[in-house]
A = this chain, B = another copy of it.
Amino acid sequence: MNALVYHGPGRRGWDSVPDPTIIDATDIIVRIDCSTICGTDLHILKGDVPETPPGTVLGHEAVGTVEEVGAQVSTVAVGDRVLMSCVSACGRCRFCREQRYGQCLGGGGWIFGHTIDGLQAEYARVPFADTSVYKVPDELTDEQVLFLADILPTAYEVGVLNGMVAPGDTVAIVGAGPIGLAAILTARLYTPGRIVAIDLADTRLESATRFGADTTINNGRDDARAQVMELTDGLGADVAFEAVGVPDTFELAAELIRPGGRVANIGVHGKPVTLHLETLWTRDVTITTGLVDTSTIPQLLKLVSSGRLDPTVFATHRFGLQDAMSAYDTFADAASTGALKVVLEGSARRGSSTNDMALVAGGA
């Protein structure tokens, strides 16, 4: 088969590689019908993820069709259409018991395209299938569920749920890239009173408005803290999400919240940040971090099925799977191409839904 292979920093290829085979009795083999590229894949290509060896097939988000099942697999069968989570779960360890699959101690966690071959390929071996894949309801297209593999549960679990967004809240989102937009989309499930998006790029802020931000602030030009304070009677936001991953944006997020507020860190950080405890110690704040568990996939699937949530708004570009090399170019140059998520379509996949705007509220 062919697959997108990492060949060391800066090098990748759409290569012919051996077909995957069942190794453990809990594995399945899946034909990839639909995959996508994540910012993390670009990090690997930059050489930022040393534990990923050259020769690894990249990708950790896909929808596919079960081709073969290991002897121990009982909940999916050949022919089933399944969503593969970016996080694998052994289902047995202490953390999997608590639905903290991202912390799996039994061989799972984020392994696809990281420590084992991933999902930007024609076929893939999927470990721990019974606890790591989700059957796709018949009425949904592949593209409707594809982004439930990673970006939407990440924003929802690590941002919205950790940040305990409540109806009426003012939510400030620092960073309006794809993950920030996913945070806007999923925050709306709790009907905040006001969503404030903050970024340095006007084009990203325009996307934020399309996704549902009520207010946008370009913090290259304007004083984001001052504006948030003005919007909130001087108290600050109820919740702030850090959705960039650098020290400055974390510090900004921490400055935006009110006494009793929450900062939910979603960004991937490579450096320490400064925490201003000399002011925050009195302010009753809660700061959270988290790796996605994808434990909310069943909940998000229900919302997509009922028409409350439309993830297809992320799909800005579509490529055949065999054109994955071009897809990477497009995705890596998002500033020019405006790419949010690129869809890699296998030859047998089900058609995409129309790209209508996002969240449809209860009953409307």
**Chain A residues engaging chain B, CB cutoff 8 angstroms:** 25-26, 71-72, 74-75, 91-92, 94-95, 97-100, 102-103, 106, 130-131, 166-168, 184, 187-195, 211-214, 245, 250, 259-260, 265, 267-278, 280-291, 295, 298-300, 302-303, 305-306, 308, 357, 359-364
Contacts and interface: CB of A to CB of B under 8 A. Distances in A.
A281 B289 contact: yes
A361 B168 contact: no
A112 to B, nearest CB: 16
Contacts of A288: 284-287
A26 to B, nearest CB: 8
Contacts of A271: 277-278
A168 B99 contact: no
Given A97-B131, A282-B290, 13 more contacts: A72-B72, A92-B130, A189-B191, A191-B303, A193-B302, A193-B305, A193-B308, A194-B306, A212-B362, A272-B278, A274-B274, A284-B291, A286-B286
A260 B103 contact: yes
A260 B187 CA distance: 22
B272 A275 contact: yes
B286 A287 contact: yes
Q: How many copies does the complex hold?
A: 4
A303 B364 contact: no
A289 B303 contact: no
Contacts of A25: 25, 71-72
Nearest to A286: B288
Contact of A191 (B103, B190, B357): B190
A150 to B, nearest CB: 14
A195 B130 CA distance: 31
Contacts of A188: 191, 361-363
Given A286-B287, A288-B286, A361-B188, A281 B265 contact: yes
A327 B35 CA distance: 62
30 contacts: A26-B72, A71-B71, A75-B92, A91-B91, A91-B131, A94-B298, A95-B260, A98-B260, A100-B259, A100-B284, A103-B284, A166-B299, A167-B299, A168-B308, A189-B191, A191-B191, A191-B303, A192-B362, A213-B363, A214-B306, A265-B281, A269-B278, A272-B274, A272-B275, A280-B289, A281-B289, A284-B290, A285-B289, A359-B362, A361-B364
